[in-house]
């Protein structure tokens, strides 16, 4: 609407011009200095001059003056204008005039335009609306309010998408914002959907929006013209409905069943269909899922558990019919849900409140009323969740209120498709849960228990195994402690690739194979080479790649030999808390063509009271963290736990001031002692195990405690005839020094037989080692690789009597291959008064934690 030009000026009581505005200068064509002080009558024709006199008289009486008069512009052009005069009190107390003139034609046009716009907005059959710069309604006319079925006042402050329920409302608002930003109008764009209060059927509108700007060009908002074209767009609306249904089914494949969780799958479905497809939806699963392909018996009620439910209904009773996850529902015989599950067919009613006809219809309506009550949905679809083999898992319900277009036959087909996809996802989740249950049980059986861990004097063992809660699968991590000959034990930690039942089964096979090979007393390098053959020849389904650390530890001499097949390196923690990584070469994982030459062994002697830590990568590896950083964190945690800080002492010798501790920090006494090995193991796992980790973890700790009763001695003799007598003398003196004189005869005899046999075959020095731990063990090593074996002894034979004698008198004896030849050994029990070194008492295992197995489960 165009602006009406006006001019303002002031006259004193004598009609002289005392004030002249810029509008007046532009309107009349006179500059200010041309008219100030002059008689105001020069601005008017003769009739206008008379009107000016009348205006002065009216002002003297305190009245306003309003009349159309002829005026003369500076160029002499006569113009009819609307003159408005109001009294103006001067400084001397007299009354002047404040005058305003407006072009009569422009004034008329302005008034007509105002009336026209008012009539257009109020009485137009087309919808008109104004949006602000945030795309919220500022003004709507009655026609638009009628289209939407919502009073005009309720539009103010709301967005277009809040008034119209359209599938592409969000995209439509993007186009409107583009109009606001660019100024390019949106013309004759068709939008289809349903209004919030008229949800019975789809409608179509032709919309045009344009930008509104201020006089300075600043965007103020949008003006819109909306015309309903529903009668002319029936086929278009039908096509739009088909597209919407197809889009719904297409999107379901990516929106529903994204996880292997039954509860999450049910929630995904209800969130997906409400409110676009239905006003309410619920997914229920049978409490006794069948093992075979049978449907529920038709003559018994069916009990279900609601996995998920959602409703947009405002009435609490109506919402309750579709919400309440975890609630139990008993569906009586004859109810819609019972009928659907027992027949395997959907139950569909477009209008539950339509008066029934016939006795069967009455019974049907009564059954629906008993299940859904008076506040039930206007239309309802119940679809059974039929999975593989035709067995029914449960049901899904879709409901629409009576205000919306009822669920029709096309909607039924969509509901069946959605239910079929959901049933498949739920069945996958169910079978996955069952597989995980079996895998967890298998894993528990395969891992060593408390009674499987050997307890030896001179060795403390602690272990923890945690199964992650984030991953739905089980891992193939394992640990083991295997008793070997003499005073030796094997310490093992390994990890199978994968997180499924095959990983658990492969882990079990690996443990079995390792136990079998360990009984052969193989060197660590040879054992891993044999284990590689086991992995390569096993079925691919049950054995994948594996990493492993294998360490052989002598509990008397504290000698340790370690071999590694692609596993994180062990960490050695000293008594004072300092740590170091054991520099054993990592090698390559088992299953990629490992040969014995590719693995090297690292030998070391564990310092007294030191702790060897073996672990799997789940303890030190994260997606967002380098494994080296994880190992550094492990070393820091070990140092802090093994060597706790000494509490401070105040200058006066009193206790230190109690430091501030956050209420969220872990409570701890300021005075700490060195923890037990199991406490250390548990604390390290609790500190480093990531709550959101995706991998299991195993930790095995071995500590070499101080053992005053343990003794060992080692000698080398030449492969000569007198070496046996020299060895007997060395053994005799040593046993006397150890207080074991009563064992001299037997020990000298058996050792002499082994040395004599070694002298016969050795080419270089013979090594003799005698160690006292829980038993007395004597080992004789030479460079001959052939292992001795007992042969039948004849009455007049000269050979074979030595090993027979050893076998009869020793508690145990045996031979094993080493890299430099062989070792033949025998073991004798200590006298009763000497065998007083107790085995370490197993520490109580902690209760199961929330992350999985208890430590050592």
pLDDT at 558: 93
pLDDT over 90 (residue 769): yes
**Residue 87 bridge partners (DSSP):** 97
Across 378-392, 527-541, 727-741, which has the greatest mean pLDDT?
A: 727-741
d(CA 224, CA 175) in angstroms, rounded, equals 13
What percent of the chain shows pLDDT beyond 70? 79
* Predicted confidence band of residue 291 (pLDDT cuts 50, 70, 90): low
- Ordered by where they begin, the domains of the chain are 6-109 (3.30.450.20), 125-232 (3.30.450.20), 260-436 (3.30.450.40), 452-644+673-703 (3.60.40.10), 711-829 (3.30.565.10)
Cβ burial 43-76 (10 Å sphere, 16+ → b, else e): bbbeebbebbeebbebbeeeeebeeebbbbeeee
Angle, alpha carbons 753-516-586 (nearest 5°) = 100
* Predicted confidence band of residue 309 (pLDDT cuts 50, 70, 90): very high
Q: Encoding tokens for residue 802?
A: 């030595």
* Structure confidence by residue, pLDDT tens digits, 540-584: 544 578 899 999 999 999 999 999 999 999 999 999 999 999 999
d(CA 621, CA 468) in angstroms, rounded, equals 13
* Predicted confidence band of residue 127 (pLDDT cuts 50, 70, 90): confident
d(CA 510, CA 513) in angstroms, rounded, equals 5
pLDDT over 80 (residue 737): yes
Determine contact, residues 622/628, Cβ cutoff 8 Å. Answer: no
pLDDT at 635: 94
pLDDT at 649: 45
Please compute the mean of the pLDDT values over residues 813-817 and round it to a whole number.
90
- How many other C-beta atoms lie within 10 A of the C-beta of residue 574? 18
d(CA 103, CA 107) in angstroms, rounded, equals 6
Please compute the mean of the pLDDT values over residues 807-823 and round it to a whole number.
89
* Predicted confidence band of residue 856 (pLDDT cuts 50, 70, 90): very low
Point out the least confidently predicted range of 15-29, 489-503, 578-592.
489-503
* Predicted confidence band of residue 204 (pLDDT cuts 50, 70, 90): confident
Q: What are phi and psi of 325, to 5 degrees?
A: -60, 140
d(CA 768, CA 719) in angstroms, rounded, equals 12
Q: Tell me which DSSP letter residue 39 carries.
A: B
Point out the least confidently predicted range of 44-53, 648-657, 782-791.
648-657
Three-state DSSP class for residue 57? helix
Q: Encoding tokens for residue 628?
A: 């080296």
Point out the least confidently predicted range of 223-237, 268-282, 483-497, 780-794.
223-237
pLDDT at 458: 85
Only one residue has tokens 């999975």, namely 387
Determine contact, residues 207/164, Cβ cutoff 8 Å. Answer: no
d(CA 216, CA 13) in angstroms, rounded, equals 40
Point out the least confidently predicted range of 38-47, 196-205, 684-693.
196-205
* Structure confidence by residue, pLDDT tens digits, 428-469: 888 888 777 776 776 677 677 777 787 888 899 999 988 764
- How many other C-beta atoms lie within 10 A of the C-beta of residue 491? 23
pLDDT at 532: 86
- How many other C-beta atoms lie within 10 A of the C-beta of residue 626? 11
Closest C-alpha to 521, from 489, 480, 549 = 489
Angle, alpha carbons 218-152-236 (nearest 5°) = 90
d(CA 835, CA 830) in angstroms, rounded, equals 6
Point out the least confidently predicted range of 19-23, 152-156, 199-203, 392-396.
199-203
d(CA 516, CA 363) in angstroms, rounded, equals 72
In whole angstroms, how far apart are CA 107 and each of 1, 104, 854?
A: 12, 5, 92
Who contacts 816 (Cβ-Cβ below 8 Å, separation ≥6)? Answer: 485, 520, 521, 522, 787, 822, 823, 825
pLDDT over 90 (residue 31): yes
pLDDT at 346: 94
**Residue 6 bridge partners (DSSP):** 102
Q: What are phi and psi of 395, to 5 degrees?
A: -155, 165
pLDDT at 692: 60
pLDDT over 70 (residue 3): no
Three-state DSSP class for residue 662? coil
Q: Average pLDDT, whole number, for the chain?
A: 81
Q: What are phi and psi of 825, to 5 degrees?
A: -140, 160
pLDDT at 324: 79
The DSSP string of 306-357 is: EEEEEE--SSHHHHHTT--TT-EEEE-TTSHHHHHHHHTS-EEES-TTSPP-
Is 153 exposed, middle or buried (CB count within 10 Å of its CB: 0-12, 13-18, 19+)? Answer: exposed
* Structure confidence by residue, pLDDT tens digits, 176-185: 889 999 999 9
d(CA 183, CA 177) in angstroms, rounded, equals 10
pLDDT over 90 (residue 595): no
d(CA 802, CA 788) in angstroms, rounded, equals 11
The DSSP string of 250-305 is: HHHHHHS--SS-HHHHHHHHHHHHTTTT-SEEEEEEESS--SSSPPPPTTS-EEEE
pLDDT at 500: 67
d(CA 429, CA 435) in angstroms, rounded, equals 10
pLDDT at 730: 94
* Structure confidence by residue, pLDDT tens digits, 42-78: 898 887 788 888 898 999 888 999 888 888 899 988 8
d(CA 359, CA 723) in angstroms, rounded, equals 112
* Structure confidence by residue, pLDDT tens digits, 631-648: 999 999 999 987 665 554
pLDDT at 314: 67
Point out the least confidently predicted range of 154-158, 368-372, 577-581.
368-372
Please compute the mean of the pLDDT values over residues 405-425 and round it to a whole number.
89
Please compute the mean of the pLDDT values over residues 407-422 and round it to a whole number.
90
Q: For residue 203, how far is the Cα from the chain centroid?
A: 41
pLDDT at 79: 86
pLDDT over 50 (residue 732): yes
pTM (two decimals): 0.56
Cα dihedral 194, 198, 203, 209, rounded to 10, equals -70
Q: What is the CA radius of gyration of the chain?
A: 48
Please compute the mean of the pLDDT values over residues 235-245 and round it to a whole number.
62
Please compute the mean of the pLDDT values over residues 585-610 and round it to a whole number.
82
Point out the least confidently predicted range of 19-28, 124-133, 596-605, 710-719.
596-605
* Structure confidence by residue, pLDDT tens digits, 487-529: 999 999 999 887 666 777 778 888 888 899 998 889 999 999 8
């Amino acid at each position: 609407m165009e602006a009406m030009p006006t001019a303002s000026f002031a006259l004193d009581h004598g009609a002289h011009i005392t004030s002249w505005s810029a509008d007046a200068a532009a309107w009349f064509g006179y500059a200010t200095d041309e008219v100030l002080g002059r008689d105001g009558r020069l601005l008017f024709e003769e009739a206008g001059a008379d009107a000016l006199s009348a205006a002065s008289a009216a002002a003297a009486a305190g009245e306003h003056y309003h009349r159309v008069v002829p005026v003369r512009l500076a160029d002499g052009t006569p113009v009819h204008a609307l003159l408005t005069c109001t009294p103006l009190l001067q400084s001397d107390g007299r009354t002047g005039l404040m005058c305003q003139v407006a072009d009569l034609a422009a004034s008329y046009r302005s008034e007509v335009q105002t009336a026209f716009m008012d009539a257009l907005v109020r009485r137009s059959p087309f919808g008109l609306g104004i949006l602000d710069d945030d795309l919220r309604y500022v003004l709507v006319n009655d026609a638009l309010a009628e289209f939407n079925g919502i009073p005009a006042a309720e539009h103010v402050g709301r967005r277009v998408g809040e008034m119209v329920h359209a599938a592409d409302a969000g995209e439509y608002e993007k186009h409107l914002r583009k109009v606001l930003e660019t100024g390019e109008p949106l013309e004759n764009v068709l939008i289809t959907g349903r209004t919030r209060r008229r949800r019975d059927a789809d409608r179509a509108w032709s919309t045009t929006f344009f930008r509104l700007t201020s006089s300075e060009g600043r965007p103020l908002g949008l003006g819109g013209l909306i015309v309903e074209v529903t009668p002319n767009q029936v086929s278009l609306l039908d096509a739009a409905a088909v597209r919407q249904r197809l889009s719904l089914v297409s999107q379901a494949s990516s929106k529903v069943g994204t996880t292997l969780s039954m509860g999450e799958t049910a929630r995904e479905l209800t969130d997906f269909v409400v409110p676009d497809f239905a006003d309410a939806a619920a997914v229920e699963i049978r409490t006794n899922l069948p093992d075979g392909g049978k449907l529920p018996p038709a003559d018994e009620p069916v009990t279900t558990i609601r996995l998920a439910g959602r409703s947009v209904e405002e009435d609490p009773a109506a919402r309750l019919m579709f919400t309440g996850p975890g609630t139990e529902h008993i569906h009586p015989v004859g109810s819609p849900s019972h009928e659907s599950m027992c027949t395997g067919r959907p139950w569909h009613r477009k209008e539950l409140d339509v008066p029934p006809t016939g006795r069967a219809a009455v019974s049907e309506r009564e059954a629906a009323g008993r299940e859904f009550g008076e506040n039930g949905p206007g239309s309802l679809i119940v679809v059974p969740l039929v999975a593989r083999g035709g067995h029914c898992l449960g049901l899904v319900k879709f409901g629409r209120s009576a205000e919306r277009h009822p669920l029709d036959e096309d909607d039924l087909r969509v509901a069946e498709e959605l239910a079929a996809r959901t049933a498949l996802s739920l069945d996958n989740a169910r079978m996955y849960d069952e597989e995980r249950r079996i895998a967890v049980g298998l894993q528990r059986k395969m891992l060593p228990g408390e009674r499987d861990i050997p307890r030896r004097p001179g060795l403390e063992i602690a272990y923890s195994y945690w199964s992650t809660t984030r991953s739905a699968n089980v891992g193939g991590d394992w640990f083991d402690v295997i008793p070997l000959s003499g005073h030796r034990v094997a310490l093992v930690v390994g990890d199978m690739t994968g997180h499924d039942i095959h990983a658990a089964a492969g882990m079990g096979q690996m443990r079995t194979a390792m136990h079998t090979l360990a009984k052969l007393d193989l060197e660590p390098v040879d054992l891993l080479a044999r284990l590689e053959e086991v992995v390569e020849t096993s079925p691919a389904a049950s054995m994948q790649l594996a990493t492993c650390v294998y360490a052989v530890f002598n509990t008397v001499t504290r000698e340790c030999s370690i071999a590694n097949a692609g596993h994180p390196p062990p960490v050695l923690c000293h008594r004072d808390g300092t740590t170091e990584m054991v520099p054993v070469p990592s090698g390559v994982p088992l299953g990629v063509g490992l040969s014995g030459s590719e693995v090297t062994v690292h030998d070391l002697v564990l310092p007294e009271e030191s702790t060897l830590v073996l672990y799997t990568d789940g303890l030190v590896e994260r997606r967002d963290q380098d494994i080296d950083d994880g190992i550094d964190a492990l070393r820091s945690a070990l140092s802090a736990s093994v060597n706790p800080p000494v509490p401070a002492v105040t200058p006066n010798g009193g206790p230190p001031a109690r430091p501030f501790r956050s209420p969220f920090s872990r409570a701890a006494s300021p005075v700490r002692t060195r923890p037990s090995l199991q406490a250390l193991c548990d604390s390290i796992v609790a500190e480093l195990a990531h709550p959101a980790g995706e991998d299991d973890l195993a930790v095995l700790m071995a500590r070499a405690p101080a053992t005053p009763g343990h003794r060992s001695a080692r000698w080398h003799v030449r492969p000569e005839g007198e070496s046996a007598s020299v060895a007997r003398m060395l053994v005799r003196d040593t046993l006397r020094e150890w207080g074991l004189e009563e064992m001299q005869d037997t020990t000298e005899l058996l050792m002499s037989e082994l040395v004599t046999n070694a002298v016969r075959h050795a080419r270089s020095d013979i090594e003799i080692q005698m160690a006292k731990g829980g038993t007395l063990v004597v080992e004789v090593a030479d460079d001959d690789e052939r292992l001795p074996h007992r042969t039948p002894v004849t009455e007049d034979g000269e050979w074979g009597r030595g090993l027979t004698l050893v076998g009869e008198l020793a508690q145990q004896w045996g031979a094993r291959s080493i890299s430099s030849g062989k070792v033949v050994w025998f073991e004798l029990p200590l006298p009763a008064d000497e065998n007083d070194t107790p085995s370490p008492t197993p520490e109580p295992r902690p209760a199961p934690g929330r992350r999985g197995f208890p430590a050592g489960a």
